[in-house]
Amino acid sequence: MLRIVIPVLWAAALALAAVLPTESGDVFYFAFGGQAGAVNAYGQRLWAVPGELIASDPMGSCLATAHRMYNGTLFLGTAVTLYTADGRFLWATIVNINATALATDCVEAAIGGIDGSLFRIKDGKVAEKQKYDKPVFALAYKVDGTLAVGTGDPVSGFTAYVDRCGNSITAVKTDAPYLVVNSPGFGAIRYRGGLAPQLRPPAGASQDCRSFVYAVYDTLYNNTTPLVKLPLPVIAVAVSGDGRTVAAATAEKLYIIRGGKTAAELDAPMMRSITLSWGGLATLTWACRGSSWST
C-alpha cells in the first residue's frame, strides 16, 4: 500500500525502487515493479512505461529506461528507450546485455552489463560498443561530456558509485574492508571499515559539484569535512541541487540536514533510495520491509 507523508512540508515518501529528481521540484521519476515513469510531489503517477533501470540528466530533462525483454522464459535482450520529461517516446533499441547500469545526458544513453559489455546508444542506434574485463556497476555522464564507468571484482574492489562531477567510491572487501573515496577536489582518501549492506554506496553531489556528500558507515562527510554522525549505519544519501540540504537514511529513520545540523528526524524504516528536489523542500524515497515494498 502506498501513502504520502509530508511533515512540515519537508518530505514526501513513496514506495519506489529508484527515484530521481527534476529541476521543477514537483515532479520525480521512478522505477518500481517493472514500471518506470513520473510522479508528482503527492505520489500520483503522471505517466508510466516498462522499465527496471532509469537515468536522467541533472535537470531531469528526459527519462531513459532499460527493460528486460523475454519470450516466455527466453531472454531476448534489454530494451533501452528515451522519453521526454512528459513521457513522449523519442527512440528505442534492443541490445544483447544483462543490464546492471544505465546513464544518459538526454542526447545519448549508455548501458553496462554484468559481463562487462558497454553500449553507447544515440538516436536509437548503437554508436559504440566496449568490453571491460569486469562487470559494470555504475555509469555517469560527466560535466565535460565524457562517460565515467565503475567496474569491479572481489580482488580489486567494486566501484559502484560514479557521478557527473568525477567523484567515485570503491569498496575493497579484504580481511580488513575499506573504502577509497576519490574526487577531483581532494584526490583519493582511504577509510577503514565496510559498507552498510546495500547495492550502491550512499553518496550524492550538488549540481555545481561543490558539495560531495558520502557516508562511511554511520558518519556523513561533505568532501573531507565530517558533517554529522548518525546512530546507525547510513544506507542512502541524497543532496539537493543547490547543495544546501542533505537527506540520509538509516534502517530506522530519515534525517534532513541543513547547515551541518539535523533539521528534521522522521520515522521511516528501511529507506533504500532517496532523492531531493532542487531546493531540498521535497524528498522522495523508496522503502523495503521484508519481501514487500512500502512506506
Least confident of 49-53, 120-124, 176-180: 176-180
Portion of the chain with pLDDT greater than 70, in percent? 85
pLDDT digits (tens, 9 = 90+) for 166-212: 999 999 876 778 899 999 999 999 998 756 545 578 999 999 999 99
Q: Tell me: pLDDT of 14 over 50.
A: no
- pLDDT of 17 reads 61
Helix or strand (DSSP H, E) at 39? strand 35-40
Is the Cα torsion angle 43, 48, 54, 59 positive or negative in sign?
A: negative
Q: Which amino acid is at 3?
A: R
What are the residue boundaries of the structural domains of the chain, listed by start? 7-293
Report helix, strand and coil shares of the chain as percent, to nearest 5.
Answer: 0, 55, 40
Q: Which is nearest to 120 in space by CA: 136, 129, 92, 164? A: 129
User: 7-293 architecture in CATH?
Assistant: 7 Propeller (2.130)
- pLDDT of 175 reads 72
- pLDDT of 10 reads 32
Q: Which amino acid is at 117?
A: S
Rounded average pLDDT over 214-235 = 94
pLDDT digits (tens, 9 = 90+) for 253-269: 999 999 889 988 988 77
C-alpha to C-alpha distance for 249 and 266, rounded to whole angstroms: 9
- The more confidently predicted of residues 162 and 289 is 162
Q: Reduced to 3 states, what is the DSSP secondary structure of residue 7?
A: helix
Q: What are the two backbone dihedrals, phi and then psi, of residue 162, each rounded to the nearest 5 degrees?
A: -140, 155
Q: What are the two backbone dihedrals, phi and then psi, of residue 139, each rounded to the nearest 5 degrees?
A: -140, 145
Tell me the residue ranges of DSSP E strands in 88-224: 89-95, 99-104, 108-113, 117-122, 125-131, 136-141, 147-153, 157-162, 168-172, 178-183, 187-192, 203-205, 212-216, 219-222
- pLDDT of 195 reads 60
pLDDT digits (tens, 9 = 90+) for 63-95: 999 999 999 999 999 999 999 999 999 999 999
Mean pLDDT, the chain, rounded, equals 86
220 contacts 255 by C-beta, under 8 angstroms: no
